[in-house]
Amino acid sequence: MSSEKKKKIKPQRPRGFEDLSGNDLAELNRLRNSIQKTYGLYGFDALETGIIEYSDVIGSFLPDQDRPNEGVFSFQDDDNKWVSLRYDLTSGLARYVAENYDSLPKPFRRYQSGWVFRNEKPGPGRFRQFFQIDADTIGSENALSDAEMCMMFADAIESTGIDRGDYVIRLNNRKILDGIIDSLDIAGNKSGSDINLAIMRSIDKLDRLGLEGVQQLLGGGRKDESGDFTKGAGLDNSSIKKILLFLEYGINSKHLSRKKSLENLSNQFDSNVIFSEAIDELDQISSIIDVAGYDEKRIIIDPSVVRGLGYYTGPVYEADLTFNIETDSSLEKFGSVGGGGRYDDLITRLKGARVPSTGISVGVSRLSSALKYLKKQNGNKEQLAVVVLVMDKEKRSLYYKIASQLREAGIPSECYAGDGGMKAQLKYADKRKARIALILGEDEEASNSITIKDLLIGKEASGEISDNEEWRSGKVSQKTVSLDNFISEIKSLI
């Protein structure tokens, strides 16, 4: 045996990753179920794809093809092929559709939820692993599929507990900005080019950085508060001024009706073929939404929405929470909890033919944070309700029987499985956030009864309770009932 002392490994999480347990995990599951139920009501079917894809399948996100690990987490498998943890759920969908295209119904409508991974700089509220819930329609290019996405987006947000008036779905068309930029005659600009993506990603940060920050990113670049520098798009001052003028219009037009917003866009900006096509598409979507009864309290047209990913080709949508939150220095709008849009060319690189597609994605982590702020977490009905205390270790089977009876009645319960005494068991029940602790001692057993301790009412500090006598002194928070009807008593409490 080596005489060298083994080095102790420090237990720590990688930056940008988080552990979930208890109420946080329960809330994630609740949100997922609520949103997926909404998608199901619209006729979308579930699909699961793997968390690892070949890196060339996710190729549109990989700036370094020789060692593709910038922006995604990648490694080489046993066949020396590069594989990557999925950056989003759309790339796996695109691969699935390309592989199974002939056997799929057209349009193909699916929803999917799962973890996605991004090898980016983590920060407050910005994780490298996060949970998304997507819905996509593949094989339809008419306005109905885009309008449906906006309406379903609104319904999904409301299903989680966000009230109408606390959110808005912002609708735009990437072609509007494409038309504006096309009129500037910027060298090298075309859809999907480096300069075009740099411009779009700069504008996509409008909500977070404001006009000044976007101006810097459209120009030479921007240094953030930590000192990190982001290279800019390198546009000249004249081009930057025209783009900012358009964005300022977008900011100031959010209060307008959808019809008025489209009229003003047509009148105030030079029109070209791309721009006019975008206005027509938005007008068709807006007409469908109008008839369906979704007014501007739920869905607005916001010309400043572009979405940062390069594969969007037409209408884009963003779900914004409109209430303010308190920060260290001021009140700030909570902001986006999801987005999406039309991506008619994404599957082309895998299929070899154009496949019109549109979809939405909800960021569950941010949505959960919003609900916590609003104090609207519904909790989980399956959260632990009862801990059965073990008063006599020789009679564990009796206590397990009681816990089993409670579970059969649909009451989440457990029997204390440790070796601690009364004090330790009450501490355990507190940490488990149980509503009730049950005690079955000699006196209760002799009288065919059981004592119900309501921990929510009692709130006695478990560290101050040291024996059975102290336990029984909490008369307000406990009562002894017959074993014949203790389950109904507990149901009345919870």
**Between residues 270 and 444, which one has the greater pLDDT?**
444
Cα–Cα distance, 146 to 130 (Å, whole number): 25
Tell me what pLDDT residue 308 has.
61
pLDDT of 109 over the 90 cut: yes
Domains located in the chain, CATH noted: 22-51+86-374 (3.30.930.10), 386-493 (3.40.50.800)
Give tens-digit pLDDT for 50-96: 999 998 888 655 444 444 556 789 889 998 899 999 989 999 999 99
Q: Is pLDDT above 50 for 372?
A: yes
- Bigger pLDDT: 233 vs 92: 92
Return mean pLDDT, the chain.
84
When mean pLDDT is compared across 119-128, 255-264, 407-416, 448-457, the lowest value belongs to 119-128
pLDDT tier at 362 (50, 70, 90 boundaries)?
very high
Contacts of 54 (CB under 8 A, 6+ apart): 81, 82, 83, 84
Count CB-CB contacts under 10 A for residue 267.
Answer: 8
Q: What is the pLDDT of residues 177-215, one digit of tens each?
A: 878 777 777 766 666 667 777 787 887 787 778 888 888
What's the pLDDT tens digit per position in 389-442?
A: 999 988 888 998 999 899 889 898 999 988 898 889 988 888 888 889 999 999
Instruction: For strands 167-173 and 221-223, give the pairing.
Output: unpaired
Q: Which residue has the higher pLDDT, 41 or 328?
A: 41
Which one is predicted more confidently, 241 or 115? 115
pLDDT band at 376 (very low <50, low <70, confident <90, very high): low
CA neighbor of 373 nearest in space, from 295, 321, 305: 321
CA-CA distance, 33 to 20, in Å (whole number)? 17
pTM (2 decimals)?
0.74
Please report the pLDDT score of residue 127 as a whole number: 82
pLDDT at 329: 54
**pLDDT single digits (tens) 440-456:** 999 899 999 999 988 87
pLDDT of residue 241: 86
**CB-based burial of residue 195 (10 Å sphere; 0-12 exposed, 13-18 middle, 19+ buried)?**
middle
